[in-house]
Structures are given as C-alpha cells and as structure tokens.
Amino acid sequence: MSLGTAIAQALLLVLGAPLVRGTIALLKARLQRRRGASIWRPYADLFKLFRKEELVPPTSSFIFRAAPAVLFAATVCAAAFIPVLRPSALLAARGDFFLLIYLLALARFFLSLGALDGGSAFGGMGASREALVSSLAEAPLLLGLAAVAILARRADLAGMVAWTLGQNVFDISAVHILAFTALAMVTLAETGRMPVDNPTTHLELTMIHEGMVLEYSGPSLALVEWAAAVKLHLMLALLIALFCPWGMAVGNAGWGIAPAALLYILKLGILMGVVSVIESAVAKLRMYLVPDFLGVASAVSALAVIFTVLVKR
Amino acid sequence: MGLVGIAGGKVLSSFSVFLFLTILLLAVARRISTSVLLFSLQSAVITAEVLATAIQEKLAEAWVVGLLVLVIKVVAIPRAFFVLARRLKTVRDVKASTTPTQSVFIAALMIYLSYAAVHSYGQAMHVPDDALAAAVALILTGAFLMVSRTKAIMQMLGLLVLENGIFLAALITTFGMPLVIEIGIFFDILMGLLLMGIFTFRISDTFDHLDAAKLRRLRG
C-alpha cells in the first residue's frame, strides 16, 4: 500500500509537471486578456519533440548528448524525495534534504556543461548566468530548509513534513514564515520564473534558461524541457509539503488518499495563481539586480535560522 | 471569545513576523512609491495588533485608536506622500547610500540586535518577546532609513517608521497610552508631516533637487 502511494506520488510529480506548466501559461494568458493555449499543450509539445530528429553541433562532444539524460534522471530522482499525498516518499528513507539540494545542483551542473559544450555564444552566456544565479540561490535554499529541519529535529523531508503535520495551524512560527519567504524567492529564481528570468522569450539578451537550451533539439530538447517542468512542480510541491501540509493522508488507510489529492490540487492551484499574478505584474530584473534579489532571500533565510534559537519550544 | 480570542492572541504574538518582513523589504525598496506602500502595509499590520489588543484586553478605547491608525497611517499619510511626490516631480529612485544587499543585511542585524536587547526585559515584564523586538527593530530601522536615504522625502518616511516603532512599543508594554495623549500624538504627526512637506517644497524650490547629501556644499 505505502509503496504503491509512494510510486504514485513520484509519478504524479513527473507526469503532472507539463500540466502545471500549461496551467500557469493559461492563467497568465487569461490575466493578460489573451485567449491562451490549451493546458494540455506542453504534452503535445513533448510528444512532437520526442518524434523529431535530433541535430547535434559538429563541435560538441559526448557531454552534449549525455547532459539531458543526466539532467532528467537527477531531477526525477529529486522528485522521488518529495512527500505529496502522505508524509512519506519513495526515497525518503535513503537521504536527507542535503541530497535533494545536491541532486538539483547536479542537474544544473550538467545542463550548464551541455550548454557550454554546444559551442554557441548564447549557450555560454546562459551557462555563466545560470552559474551565478544558482550559486547565489543555493545558500538561501539550504538555510531555509535547514531552519525547518532544526525546528523539526529531523533531517529527512518526510520526517520534517510529519512533524509539521503534528503542529496546530495557529502555532505556525516566525521561522516558518521567514523560511517560506526565502524558499518562495528561491523557487522563482531556480525555476527561471519572472523577476529573474523570462520563461517565454527566445533570443533576448537577458535570458538564462532559454539561452542554455538553444542548441538542443528533438528528444534531447524534450528531456530538458520536461526536466525544467518537473523542477517547477517539485519546488511548488516542496513549498506545499513543508509549509502547508495539512490535509495529507496519515496512517495506512487507503481512503485518505482521495481527499489528500483533491486538497493538493487546490493548494497547487492557489500557488500557480500566485505565480501567474507575479509573472504578469512584475517586470524582469536587470541582470545586475538579481544578486540583490537573492541577497534578500539569503538574509531572510539566515534570519529564519537565527529565529530557530529564539522560538520557544 | 472562543475562536476570535485565540486568533486575537495569535495576531499579537505572530504578526510581528510580518513587521520584520516589511522592514527587510523597506531596506531593499528602490522606488519611493514602493516604500510608501510598504509603510502603509506596516501600519495595517499595526492596526491589526491594536484591534487584537482591543479584543484581548476588552479595551473600548483601543477600537478608537485602531480606527485612527487605520485612517491616518494606512490611508491619509501614504496618500499625502503620493501627492507630495507627484507635486515635487521627483525621480522615483530612493537614492540610498548603501546597496540593497548591504541594507538588508544591516536590517537583519538590527532585528537580531533588538531580540538580544529585549530578551531579558520581555521575560521580566511578561510581554511577548516577538512584538517588543519588532517595536525596537522598527525604531532602529526608521533611524537607519533616515541616515542612509539621502532624499528628504525618504527621511520623512524613516521618521514615520520610527514613530510606528514607538507606538508599537507603547502598545505592547502598557496596552497603549491614554486616548487623549494618543490623539495628541496623531495630531503631532500630521503637523510634522505638514511642516516637513513645506520644507521639502522649499528645498526643491530653492535647490531644484531633494538630495540632502548635496546641501552641505552650499553652506556659508
């Protein structure tokens, strides 16, 4: 039973990811009074790309071909750590939140390597920018998760979520609000959303993620895009699991899963709505202002860790 | 009582986090309009705390004070700032002498300092630690904003943030001052705002800018 739900959770995160992307795109379009594409569009895109021929730059080495596979594998592996419907996950017993962070770092590293190996100027530029953003975003991500881990006195995500589930909604502490703020800012930066990167443009001098994937085509591009969607879904699910897990199915009874899934979809919908409002309302930051944005996230997450000492237990 | 009472108590103890957030955001805000909106938001949080005190301690006067805060600090003063900024035709940038990253780390340090400062006092007086620390942190950041922002209009805003801190400290330690004094303070703020508004008009008329850092060159 529990293995079944664990696999179902991981599959939900991976297979539902393009739907999350499509829904955010549709919400954005509606907010901007456009008609927007169907929410199933990303699946059609992936399907189309998987059947297309792959073109590889003549200067590239095997790393260019291997990078999308490593990226996708590492991201899916990270997704298997996230509790979604119950406070447990497929790989929950095999690693703590550090492993999650470094699986994501591994994915980013190989994406940057692949972009550099592609040999185009845009790829190199995107990779260097990605390196800047991710090195600055790693500290707040680590500290934000560490703050919650210190409160829960557990280092594995499932244990942290189970601890939060045991708390009263009203007893949510300063640490949680600060850590949530930091992680939400990191989520926007890590997944290449609006104030840091524009996910909808190609060939703009300020782009980060789209610059890196410019040389990819066919199945490789499909894997890269899918991995990016999984990462977005994973970060949103992580926010929900850590800071608003109430409603998750506890115990072994099977009937708790359905309301848990409905509640999860509701919470995810609210988060997607917030993301699309932010994307429609905020202008993209200049590249030199991105370190300031992440500096704020760092300060907030450092405060969250400091507050763990001050919060009475 | 019941749920409302519980919610009121929680507002008192946990809303200070939102004050910390407004402090950190004020430290990074680049535009005058953003800063003014943040000040309005901060006053709204303080209004919620006043109303929570009113529910918890069953003080009728606190409702009046809460209404005054809402009308004056959440609505009237920000409106006045927007009118002032439009009339002065000033640029939107706040002209900070520290970079946003430096500012936010300084603000975080101040929040930590204020916790360290009020810790023993809060335990002795049986007042919520968080709220008292938020009050001290507001006073410190208000002063910091006044020192680090060179534009006259932002220095006014810093003073108002500082005043918010003093108001909150009074609310936390003594459940607010007597109503007459409270009304007097609000009147003082309005008069001060009026005077400072006239001053900024004079500065911009005479020197064609609002940058207080440049005023020293014209001495003597």
What is the pTM assigned to this prediction?
0.83
pLDDT category of residue B189 using cuts at 50, 70 and 90:
confident
pLDDT at B219 over 60: no
More confident residue, B90 or A11: A11
Q: According to the model, what pLDDT value does residue B187 have?
A: 85
Q: Please choose, from the candidates A278, A245, A191, the residue with its C-alpha nearest in 3D space to the C-alpha of residue A17.
A: A191
DSSP string, B99-155: -HHHHHHHHHHHHHHHHHHHHHHHHHHT--HHHHHHHHHHHHHHHHHHHHB-BHHHH
Indicate if the alpha-carbon torsion angle A142, A146, A148, A154 is positive or negative: positive
pLDDT category of residue A221 using cuts at 50, 70 and 90:
very high
Mean residue pLDDT across chain A: 87
B147 lies in some domain: yes
pLDDT category of residue B181 using cuts at 50, 70 and 90:
confident
Q: Taking residues B119-131, report their average pLDDT.
A: 76
* Residues B220, B208: Cα–Cα separation, whole Å: 19
Mean residue pLDDT across chain B: 82
Total domain count for chain B? 1
In contact, B139 and B131? CB cutoff 8 Å: no
Q: According to the model, what pLDDT value does residue A254 have?
A: 64
pLDDT at A195 over 70: yes
Contact A291 B129 (CB under 8 A): no
Total domain count for chain A? 1
Tokens of A51: 């059947």
pLDDT at A144 over 90: yes
Asked if B117 has any chain A CB less than 8 Å from its own CB, the reply is no
pLDDT category of residue B220 using cuts at 50, 70 and 90:
very low
CA B96 to chain centre: 18
Asked if A302 has any chain B CB less than 8 Å from its own CB, the reply is yes
pLDDT category of residue A269 using cuts at 50, 70 and 90:
very high
Domain with A211, as residue range(s), is: 2-310
CA dihedral A58, A61, A65, A69 (to 10 degrees): -160
pLDDT in tens, A103-136: 999 999 999 999 999 888 888 888 998 999 999 9
Nearest to B111 among A177, A296, A303 (CB): A303
Asked if B111 has any chain A CB less than 8 Å from its own CB, the reply is yes
Q: According to the model, what pLDDT value does residue A2 have?
A: 73
Contact B104 A303 (CB under 8 A): no
pLDDT at B107 over 80: yes
B183 lies in some domain: yes
Shortest CA distance from A291: residue in chain B: B101
B219 lies in some domain: no
pLDDT category of residue B217 using cuts at 50, 70 and 90:
low
Q: According to the model, what pLDDT value does residue B59 have?
A: 78
Range picked from A85-99, A193-207, A265-279, B59-73 for highest mean pLDDT: A265-279
pLDDT category of residue B33 using cuts at 50, 70 and 90:
confident
pLDDT category of residue A225 using cuts at 50, 70 and 90:
very high
CB atoms within 10 A of CB A256: 17
Q: Taking residues B179-200, report their average pLDDT.
A: 83
Percent of chain B exceeding pLDDT 90 equals 10
Q: According to the model, what pLDDT value does residue A166 have?
A: 82
In a mutational test of the A interface, the residue from B4, B24, B99 whose CB has the highest number of chain A CBs within 10 Å is: B24
Residues of A within 8 A of B100 (CB-CB) are 292, 295-296
pLDDT in tens, A33-75: 998 889 999 999 999 999 999 888 888 889 999 999 999 999 9
Which of A54-58, B59-63, B103-107 is least confident?
B59-63
Q: Taking residues B11-15, report their average pLDDT.
A: 71
Tokens of B179: 């109503």
* Residues B48, A299: Cα–Cα separation, whole Å: 26
Asked if A139 has any chain B CB less than 8 Å from its own CB, the reply is no
Which of A43-52, A59-68, A87-96, B45-54 is least confident?
A87-96
Contact B21 A177 (CB under 8 A): yes
Asked if B206 has any chain A CB less than 8 Å from its own CB, the reply is no
Q: Which of residues 18-57 of B touch A (CB under 8 A)?
A: 18, 20-21, 24-25, 28
ipTM over 0.85: no
How far, CA to CA in Å, does A235 sit from each of A80, A87, A110, A180, A187? 12, 16, 19, 12, 6
* Residues B195, A281: Cα–Cα separation, whole Å: 36
More confident residue, A167 or B1: A167
* Residues B146, B151: Cα–Cα separation, whole Å: 9
Residues of A within 8 A of B115 (CB-CB) are 310
Nearest to B108 among A177, A302, A310 (CB): A302
More confident residue, A291 or A92: A291
Domain with B89, as residue range(s), is: 2-214
